[in-house]
């Protein structure tokens, strides 16, 4: 059932994002998160936008290293493609988004925590952003919501979870409640508010990291 942005903000007042420690300096200077597709296009690697990444991709753009995370848990055989999508279409859809895990002040939802643990040995950086603030910073980019861990499909009771053009929807078009949201996404990019903070996964000690705009 549809829900309001206000209801979602009250329920999930913080959003979390995992990134490589290598990327943190650039994010701090630009105050923005860009999609994988954005960096692939900047790096003349547009052909990668429709290909599954079995490992992290490292691009060097204007002398700056950008690390794009792998898509190892994404298996075509574990999903039901809908709406005319083929597997490459869905990969392209994922790459065109910036992803966040919703949660509260103490941490993200269980899906986000498991995602973080998968990369613990890499010592990634975690960003925590007040939900209301990032929505206000991105008025021209409507947040889109997903009720699944979109990049890690898992069959349940013999049924393959659907993936397609309606995997990410606006709050007003949702067929699920705010409490069912697993991922929050913005298409192309997401401007970060000054209230965004960062921490290593091991410390969970939040520090300001954005360069003043």
- Residues 194-205 have a mean pLDDT of 93
User: Phi and psi for 7 in degrees, rounded to 5?
Assistant: -60, -40
| Position 90 in a domain | yes
| Position 53 in a domain | no
Identify each DSSP E strand in 125-193 by its residue range: 125-130, 144-146, 162-163, 183-187, 189-191
Q: What is the pLDDT of residues 75-127, one digit of tens each?
A: 999 999 999 999 999 999 999 999 999 999 999 999 999 999 999 999 999 99
67/69 Cα distance (integer angstroms): 6
| Position 38 in a domain | no
| Position 35 in a domain | no
Range of the domain at 115: 5-18+73-203
Count Cα neighbours of 173 within 13 Å in the Cβ-side half-sphere: 11
Total domains in the fold of the chain: 1
| Position 98 in a domain | yes
Q: Token pair for residue 127?
A: 């960003």
Q: What is the pLDDT of residues 28-41, one digit of tens each?
A: 999 999 999 999 99
| Position 34 in a domain | no
- Residues 49-65 have a mean pLDDT of 93
| Position 87 in a domain | yes
Yes or no: say if 15 and 107 are a contact pair by the CB < 8 Å rule: no
| Position 31 in a domain | no
CB-count burial class (<10 Å; 0-12, 13-18, 19+) for 47? exposed
134/184 Cα distance (integer angstroms): 11
Radius of gyration of the chain (CA): 17
Yes or no: say if 199 and 31 are a contact pair by the CB < 8 Å rule: no
Yes or no: say if 167 and 182 are a contact pair by the CB < 8 Å rule: no
């Amino acid at each position: 059932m549809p829900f309001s942005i206000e209801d979602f903000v009250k329920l999930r007042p913080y959003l979390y994002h995992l990134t490589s420690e290598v990327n943190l300096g650039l994010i701090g200077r630009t105050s923005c998160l860009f999609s994988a597709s954005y960096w692939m296009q900047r790096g003349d690697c547009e052909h990668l936008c429709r290909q599954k990444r079995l490992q992290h991709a490292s691009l060097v753009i204007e002398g700056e290293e950008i690390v794009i995370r792998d898509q190892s848990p994404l298996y075509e055989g574990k999903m039901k493609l809908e709406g005319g999508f083929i597997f490459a279409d869905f990969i392209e859809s994922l790459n065109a988004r910036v992803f966040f895990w919703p949660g509260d002040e103490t941490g993200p939802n269980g899906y986000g925590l498991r995602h973080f643990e998968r990369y613990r040995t890499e010592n990634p950086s975690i960003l925590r952003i007040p939900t209301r603030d990032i929505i206000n910073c991105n008025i021209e980019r409507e947040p889109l919501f997903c009720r699944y861990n979109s990049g890690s499909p898992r069959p349940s009771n013999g049924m393959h979870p659907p993936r397609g053009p309606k995997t990410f929807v606006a709050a007003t078009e949702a067929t699920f409640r705010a409490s069912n949201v697993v991922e929050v996404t913005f298409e192309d990019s997401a401007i970060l508010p000054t209230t965004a903070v960062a921490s290593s996964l091991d410390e969970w000690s939040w520090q300001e990291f954005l360069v003043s705009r």
